[in-house]
Structure 1
Amino acid sequence: MTESKTDLTTNEHETVTDIEAAVFRRLLKHLDERKDAQNIDLMNLAGFCRNCLSKWYMAEAEARGVDVDYDAARERVYGEPYADWKEKYQQEATAEQLDKFKDSHKH
């Protein structure tokens, strides 16, 4: 679509919102299937990780008057309580990963 969101009819806007929601669910499914993609790798490559998605989810909920705490947002993104996911899947960051992270986040 070449129209801006403000030019869309209500039905078209709902369709765009439905598509965006489906893409978000697909992203979460993809991340769930790629537990080998560690958060530090995502941060180093793309500048965001699962925790960032959780914070964005929480902020967008709050902007719409919906109270979602960080733990609930992380459970939505991780598909289970964060502590459980971390225990099962999170690996210790290597020195190389940490150095790359520090280099990419210098101000």
Structure 2
Amino acid sequence: MVVVVVFVPREAADRVRRAAARAGAGAIGNYRACSFSAAGEGRFEPQVGARPTIGRVGEPEVVDEMRVEMVVPRPDARRVVDAVLAAHPYEEPAWHAYETLGLAEL
């Protein structure tokens, strides 16, 4: 399994979660669209050449964001990340993915 993590403005979090679930993320046993979210502050400063959705070039910005995490089978991970990025409102979304260990690997 892979955990896909994305940082998204609070108002766009549901849209990103739904896109990830439609692409195959969040299936755990008999449950679908499972995710975890935690609130936080995203901080960035757009540079020359950026086209920020929020904020202005050259000015520091703080945004109320959610960290959204969902599990996905390894073969489906690229499709999920592509769906997350397509649904995300930012020009350059912050995200990462990491592989997990199951009970058989422990």
Q: Which one has the bigger helix percentage?
A: 1
Scaled by the length of structure 1, the TM-score of the pair is 0.24
Structure showing greater Rg: 1
Larger RCO: 1 or 2 (CA < 8 Å, sep 6+): 2
Scaled by the length of structure 2, the TM-score of the pair is 0.24
